Structure 1
Amino acid sequence: MSLGDDQDGSGGYGGTGQTRTRYPEGGADVYGGARRGGRSSSRSLVTVVGVIVLLIAAIAFANRGGDDSASSAEGAGGQPKATTTAPSGTKPVQSTSGAIPTGYAHDTQGAQSAAANYAVALGSADMFDKAKRDAMLQVIIAPSRVAAFQSTMDRAYTAAFNKNVGLNEDGSTPTGYTFVSRTSPIGTKATASSGNNATVEVWCSGLLGMAGENSTNPVTNSWFTVTMKLEWAADDWKVVTQSQKEGPAPVPGDDPASSADDMAKAVDEYGGFTYAR
Structure 2
Amino acid sequence: MSTGDEHDYGTGETRTRLPGADPYGGARRTARSSSRSLVTVVGVVVLLIAAIAFANRDDDTPSSNKPPTNTPTTSTTAPTGETPVTTKSTGIPTGFAHNAQGAQSAAANYAVALGSAEMFDKAKRDEILRAVITPSRVQSFEASLDQAYTPDFNKSVGLSADGTTPKGYTFVSRTSPIGTRITGSSSDTASVEVWCSGLLGLAGENSTTPVTNSWFTITMKLEWTAGDWKIVTHTQKEGPAPVPGDDRAASADEMSKAVEEYGGFTYAR
Q: Is TM > 0.5 for Structure 1 vs Structure 2?
A: yes
Provide, for residues 143-163 of structure 1, a one-character-per-residue CA deviation record: whole Å limited to 9, x for no partner: 000000101111111111000
Match of 1:124 in 2: 116
Instruction: Tell me, yes or no, if structure 1 residue 244 matches structure 2 residue 236.
Output: yes
Give the deviation of 1:91 after TM superposition.
2.0
Letter in 2 for 1:223: W
State the alpha-carbon separation in 2 of the partners of residues 238 and 141 from structure 1: 5
Conserved in 2, the CA contact under 8 Å of 1:105 and 1:111? yes
Match of 1:151 in 2: 143
Give the deviation of 1:99 after TM superposition.
1.2
Match of 2:78 in 1: 86
Conserved in 1, the CA contact under 8 Å of 2:108 and 2:177? yes
Alignment gaps of 5+ in structure 1: 1-68
Which 4+ runs in 1 deviate beyond 3 A? none
Letter in 1 for 2:267: Y
Instruction: Tell me, yes or no, if structure 1 residue 273 matches structure 2 residue 265.
Output: yes
Letter in 2 for 1:188: T
Give the deviation of 1:70 after TM superposition.
6.8
Conserved in 2, the CA contact under 8 Å of 1:92 and 1:105? no
Letter in 1 for 2:181: K
Letter in 1 for 2:201: G
3-state secondary structure, aligned to 1:218 = coil
Conserved in 1, the CA contact under 8 Å of 2:77 and 2:179? no
3-state secondary structure, aligned to 2:76 = helix
Alignment gaps of 5+ in structure 2: 1-65
Match of 2:161 in 1: 169
Provide, for residues 47-95 of structure 1, a one-character-per-residue CA deviation record: whole Å limited to 9, x for no partner: xxxxxxxxxxxxxxxxxxxxxx979x77xxx4x2332223323223241
Tell me which of the two structures has the higher relative contact order, counting C-alpha pairs closer than 8 angstroms and 6 or more residues apart.
2
Letter in 2 for 1:199: S
Give the deviation of 1:223 after TM superposition.
0.5
Conserved in 2, the CA contact under 8 Å of 1:168 and 1:174? yes
Conserved in 1, the CA contact under 8 Å of 2:173 and 2:201? yes
Match of 1:193 among 185, 208, 219: 185
| TM-score of the pair, normalised by structure 1 | 0.71
Conserved in 1, the CA contact under 8 Å of 2:90 and 2:131? no
Provide closer, same or farther for how the CA distance between residues 101 and 111 of structure 1 changes in structure 2, counting only shifts above 3 A: same
Cα-Cα RMSD: 1.5
Conserved in 2, the CA contact under 8 Å of 1:94 and 1:104? no
Conserved in 2, the CA contact under 8 Å of 1:92 and 1:110? no
* Structure number with bigger Rg: 1
Provide closer, same or farther for how the CA distance between residues 81 and 70 of structure 1 changes in structure 2, counting only shifts above 3 A: farther
State the alpha-carbon separation in 1 of the partners of residues 207 and 81 from structure 2: 45
What is the identity percentage for the equivalent residue pairs of Structure 1 and Structure 2?
70
| TM-score of the pair, normalised by structure 2 | 0.73
When the two structures are aligned, how many residues end up with a matched partner?
204
Instruction: Tell me, yes or no, if structure 1 residue 206 matches structure 2 residue 198.
Output: yes
State the alpha-carbon separation in 2 of the partners of residues 274 and 253 from structure 1: 28
